Amino acid sequence: MSYETLNLFLHILVFFMGAGIGSFLNVVIYRLPLGMSVNKPVRSFCPSCKKQIPFYRNIPLFSWLALRGKCADCGSPISVRYFLVELLVGVLFYAIFLSFAGPWNQISQWGPIVLAYWVFFALLVSGTFIDLEHFILPHEITIGGAVTGVLFAFWAPAIVGQEGHQMGVLVSFLSAFLGLGLLWSVVELGKMMFGRLNLKFDSAEKFSIFEPNADDPPVLRCQGDDLSWQDIFTRDSDRLIITCSKLQVEERSWSNVIAEVKMETITVKSDPKAKTGDSIPLADVKRIDGECSHITIPREAMGFGDVLFIAMIGAFTGWKGVLFTVFAASIIGTIFAVFPRLIGKQDWASRIPFGPYLAAGAGLFVFWGPQWIDWYLNRFRL
């Protein structure tokens, strides 16, 4: 077998190895947010009928296409996300191999770097798709990934721009804390400046929550102003807290209570510190009326999962990676916030959490960040 044939086989192998890892990441993306083990059951199963999928129907990329995105047993549709994750990870693994692999007689030098970036991008992809679907970033990915990044920085210090193993660990560790501190500061400032609606009234003000029309989402009306449901609930975790002197929900009424409204429920509490109360599904409610002294939306600029996510990114990329990622993510997020508004689809941007933007920024840094930073510094150097 010629060298060219062996080389072609190697490149194909790397791509499909990445697609195979992508197949496993689909298991992680589905099971981890549900608190399920990624090892038991060992085989993948249909989310609808729960039947385990035999190996010959679980071939990365080909099986989804051959089955036309449906379960072979029950015929239920299988999300295109499974195919896209396998394809994306295959492409990313191959791109990393092309960018960082060197001659085979020097594999001890570039091998750890390639493996580190494969693991890093697997974490980025997993975190991105979990965040998109559930608006959470599990600690197994963020904290576990940060520890893994520090270990890789010892084995392959070049990923954080160092040569010595001890300096690799130190820079990785400090970069993780730099990222954590930087984004934590953003979260706290966001709370104070932009992240919450906080209305206090000198006397009790009448308010109501109702649907203007049968096909329209509810609105909150207070002091003659309407606040749409999309403006209140930009994420599943958002809440609307109303301090009520009087509250009426359908036929039920209360006095001097706290109403905590979420996307699908309203919970009435006698004490703001109480963890439980009378919970009523909003699907059963047509109108809410009352008098209030305080309305709060304690929305954060971003979740704390994002803070831990950038710490993980810092552990793998160093302090330059942290700064570049935050800057790039902000630009990407701004583009995705402005463009939908220009085409009249502003609700699109509210559905995307910040984690995917951080992942995109980190990916850009790994492939092009150092070159872009050098170009920028040389351009303005006197």
Contact assessment for residue 291 and residue 205, using Cβ atoms and an 8 Å cutoff:
yes
- For the stretch 171-229, pLDDT in tens is 999 999 999 998 888 766 655 555 556 788 888 899 999 887 767 778 888 887 888 77
Instruction: Calculate mean pLDDT across residues 248-267.
Output: 89
Contact assessment for residue 317 and residue 373, using Cβ atoms and an 8 Å cutoff:
no
- For the stretch 82-110, pLDDT in tens is 999 999 999 999 999 999 988 877 888 88
Tell me, what's the pLDDT at 350? 56
Instruction: Calculate mean pLDDT across residues 118-132.
Output: 96
Instruction: Calculate mean pLDDT across residues 24-38.
Output: 90
Averaged pLDDT of the chain: 86
pTM of the model: 0.75
- The answer, yes or no, to whether residue 302 has pLDDT greater than 70, is no
- For the stretch 48-65, pLDDT in tens is 887 888 888 888 999 888
Q: State the Cα–Cα distance between residues 306 and 115, nearest whole angstrom.
A: 24
* Spans of all domains in the chain: 1-100, 141-192+303-382, 197-297
Q: Confidence class of residue 303 from pLDDT cuts 50, 70 and 90?
A: low
Q: State the Cα–Cα distance between residues 354 and 303, nearest whole angstrom.
A: 8
User: DSSP states of 148-195 as a string?
Assistant: HHHHHHHH-GGGGT-SSHHHHHHHHHHHHHHHHHHHHHHHHHHHHHTS
